[in-house]
Structures are given as structure tokens and as C-alpha cells.
């Protein structure tokens, strides 16, 4: 049995690929408040995130190309309507307005992280447990959890911002976003919006608008200051629309690393323990590629 520690965007995607390939998988999730997948936007935009030409650029492009098939297979396996919509408008390109055809990036897309996680975990053995530590034992790995111990042949650590518990150099970057009760709008991205990159998209739960950026902050309560910034931001993205004030705040902890690179590698020499974490603000974008890579290594 392969145990996946953490059933967020990365752990759930890996568990899905392993199960699709016929592996016996167990997902352990602690149900942490502030899990990034619960607050993540679902923008799949290497352009907006300025990843082209960076060390992540190639991974991002490859993962984006896997997304249509990944979304289709998630929908097929789960029976859920998995949101995946092509097209993002970049509203800060010099000399361009959102309505100019050149501002549209048709190959980029949006999705809905909570539905991705739900679809990926559909039909899998998922248990609520916090993994406290790992112990190497003959023939496997012992997981000591708050719900008792268990032994697995192999383990994937995908504990998001909480990965430091396992000695991994990951820290939280808090993000606050807003949901507006409004009719669907075009997905847009602006890097020139007073402080933080600003983006918004239509989702099944409303119009999403995000997001603030606070490194090394574990606070999962919504902040009034962030809410004010978000409330003032909607007209910057959709100046032609009258949108209501935010109806709900979302707060999540992005799992970040000092060099901005995800940690996807074996941790033990025998290859029984793997890490897949540190995806920062790109976990939705990079999920299909990370899942494919880890599944190929473990199977």
C-alpha cells in the first residue's frame, strides 16, 4: 500500500494517478484550517505569473498542456462536473484593453480547486488523521498518526505548508481572497494592481477575486485590511461592470520554498519516502505534471 500524507491539490492528484494505474492507495488528511486548496483560485496562467523564461517556465508549460486531459479523466472517474474553461484576458498589457483580441490568452485556463480535490479523491480510501512522524521499519514505513499507527510500503509526503513537520524547508505564504455573489465574468489577470498581482474568474461558487500575499504568516482568520483591498480591487479588473461587494472571504496558506522551486524528490535512499510539496502559488497549475512524475517514479 502507498500512503499519501495530505489530501490537498498535490496529494489528491498524486493519489488519483496512482489509483488510476491500479495501485493500492491510502490518503491521510488532517483537515487543516487554511489548507491552500480550499482558498486557491484555479488560474492556470504561466503568462500572468510571469513564469516564461524562469526555472519553472518549462514545468508550467508542460503541466498546462496536461490539464485538458487531466480534467477530462477526473470528470470521467468521479462523475463530477469538473470546471475547466479556456481563455484568460491579461488586462495590464501595455496599450491593450481587455476587449482587444491580443489581450486574450486562449491556451491558458481556469478551474476550481475544491472540485479538483473532490474529484481526485472520489472512490479512494481517505481517512481523517494527522501524521505526526515517520519511522523506517523492515519492509516499509510506519506512520505514527493521531488516530493510531499504520504501516505502508511507501509514503508520499504532500502536507502543503505544514511540511516543515517532516524536516522539509517549506513555509506558509498567507493569501486572502474574496467571493462575490455575481453573474459570470471573463477571467482576467493584472500584475499592476496596487501591491499584489490581482486576478479574478467565474467559478461555481461565485466570482473569485484574489489575492493578498503575506510570507511566514500562519494566521487563517480573515483580515479587515485585506478585505478592504479586495473590495476596492474589482473595478480594476472589470471596469465596465457593476459588481457587488465581497460576500465571503477565503484564507489559505501557500506552501512556499526560499528559491520558489517545488520539492518533488525521494527523501529516503531506498525510495520508500517521497516528498511532493512547496508548489507555492502554482500548485493548481503544476498538479497534473507533479502527479504524473511521482506516479511514474513509484510504480
Ligand X SMILES: Cc1cc2nc3c(=O)[nH]c(=O)nc-3n(C[C@H](O)[C@H](O)[C@H](O)COP(=O)(O)OP(=O)(O)OC[C@H]3O[C@@H](n4cnc5c(N)ncnc54)[C@H](O)[C@@H]3O)c2cc1C
Which residues lie near ligand X (CB under 6 A)?
A: 5-11, 28-32, 35-37, 39-43, 113, 130-131, 158-162, 165, 175, 177, 210-211, 252, 254-255, 277, 279-285
How far apart CA 89 and CA 62 sit, in angstroms, is 21
Indicate the residue among 242 and 259 with the shorter CB distance to ligand X: 259
How far apart CA 204 and CA 10 sit, in angstroms, is 21
Strand order in the sheet with 25-29: 125-128, 25-29, 2-5, 154-157, 273-277, 263-266
| Closest distance to ligand X from the beta carbon of 73 (Å) | 19
| Closest distance to ligand X from the beta carbon of 4 (Å) | 9
Q: Which residues are within 8 A (CB) of 126 and not within 5 positions of it... i.e. 6 or more apart?
A: 7, 27, 29
| Closest distance to ligand X from the beta carbon of 289 (Å) | 11
Helix and strand element counts for the chain (H, E):
6, 18
Indicate the residue among 103 and 209 with the shorter CB distance to ligand X: 209
Residue pair 112/244 in contact by the 8 Å Cβ criterion: no
Q: Which residues are within 8 A (CB) of 131 and not within 5 positions of it... i.e. 6 or more apart?
A: 5, 28, 30, 143, 144, 145, 159
Indicate the residue among 243 and 275 with the shorter CB distance to ligand X: 275
Q: Which residues are within 8 A (CB) of 118 and not within 5 positions of it... i.e. 6 or more apart?
A: 78, 80
| Closest distance to ligand X from the beta carbon of 14 (Å) | 9
CA atoms within 13 A on the CB side of 32: 27
| Closest distance to ligand X from the beta carbon of 153 (Å) | 18
| Closest distance to ligand X from the beta carbon of 95 (Å) | 26
Which residue sits closest to ligand X, CB atoms considered?
8
Place of cell 524547508: 169
End-to-end CA distance of the chain: 11
How far, rounded to the nearest angstrom, does the alpha carbon of residue 33 sit from its chain's CA centroid? Answer: 15
Indicate the residue among 60 and 94 with the shorter CB distance to ligand X: 60
Indicate the residue among 97 and 222 with the shorter CB distance to ligand X: 222
| Closest distance to ligand X from the beta carbon of 98 (Å) | 18
Indicate the residue among 165 and 266 with the shorter CB distance to ligand X: 165
- Peptide bond preceding 211: is omega within 30 degrees of 0, i.e. cis? yes
Indicate the residue among 272 and 282 with the shorter CB distance to ligand X: 282
Amino acid at each position: 500500500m502507498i500512503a499519501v500524507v495530505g489530501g490537498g491539490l498535490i496529494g489528491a492528484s498524486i493519489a488519483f494517478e496512482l489509483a488510476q494505474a491500479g495501485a493500492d492507495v491510502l490518503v491521510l488528511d488532517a483537515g487543516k484550517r487554511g489548507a491552500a486548496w480550499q482558498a486557491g483560485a484555479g488560474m492556470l496562467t504561466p503568462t500572468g505569473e510571469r513564469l516564461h523564461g524562469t526555472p519553472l517556465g518549462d514545468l508550467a508549460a508542460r503541466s498546462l498542456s496536461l490539464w485538458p486531459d487531466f480534467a477530462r479523466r477526473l470528470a470521467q472517474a468521479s462523475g463530477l462536473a469538473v470546471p475547466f474553461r479556456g481563455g484568460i484576458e491579461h488586462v495590464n498589457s501595455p496599450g491593450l484593453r481587455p476587449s482587444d483580441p491580443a489581450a486574450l490568452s486562449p491556451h491558458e485556463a481556469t478551474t476550481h480547486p475544491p472540485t479538483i480535490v473532490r474529484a481526485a479523491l472520489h472512490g479512494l480510501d481517505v481517512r481523517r488523521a494527522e501524521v505526526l512522524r515517520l519511522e523506517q521499519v523492515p519492509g516499509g514505513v510506519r506512520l505514527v498518526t493521531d488516530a493510531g499507527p499504520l504501516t505502508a510500503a511507501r509514503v508520499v509526503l504532500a502536507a502543503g505548508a505544514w511540511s516543515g513537520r517532516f524536516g522539509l524547508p517549506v513555509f506558509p505564504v498567507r493569501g486572502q481572497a474574496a467571493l462575490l455573489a455575481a453573474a459570470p465574468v471573463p477571467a482576467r489577470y493584472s500584475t499592476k494592481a496596487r501591491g499584489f498581482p490581482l486576478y479574478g474568474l467565474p467559478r461555481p461558487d461565485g466570482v473569485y477575486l484574489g489575492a493578498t500575499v503575506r510570507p511566514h504568516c500562519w494566521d487563517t482568520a480573515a483580515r479587515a485590511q485585506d478585505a478592504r483591498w479586495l473590495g476596492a480591487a474589482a473595478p480594476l479588473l472589470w471596469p465596465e461592470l457593476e459588481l457587488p461587494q465581497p460576500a465571503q472571504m477565503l484564507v489559505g496558506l501557500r506552501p512556499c520554498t526560499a528559491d520558489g522551486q517545488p520539492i518533488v524528490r525521494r527523501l529516503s535512499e531506498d525510495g520508500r519516502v517521497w516528498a511532493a510539496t512547496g508548489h507555492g502559488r502554482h500548485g493548481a497549475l503544476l498538479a497534473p505534471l507533479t502527479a504524473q512524475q511521482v506516479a511514474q517514479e513509484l510504480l
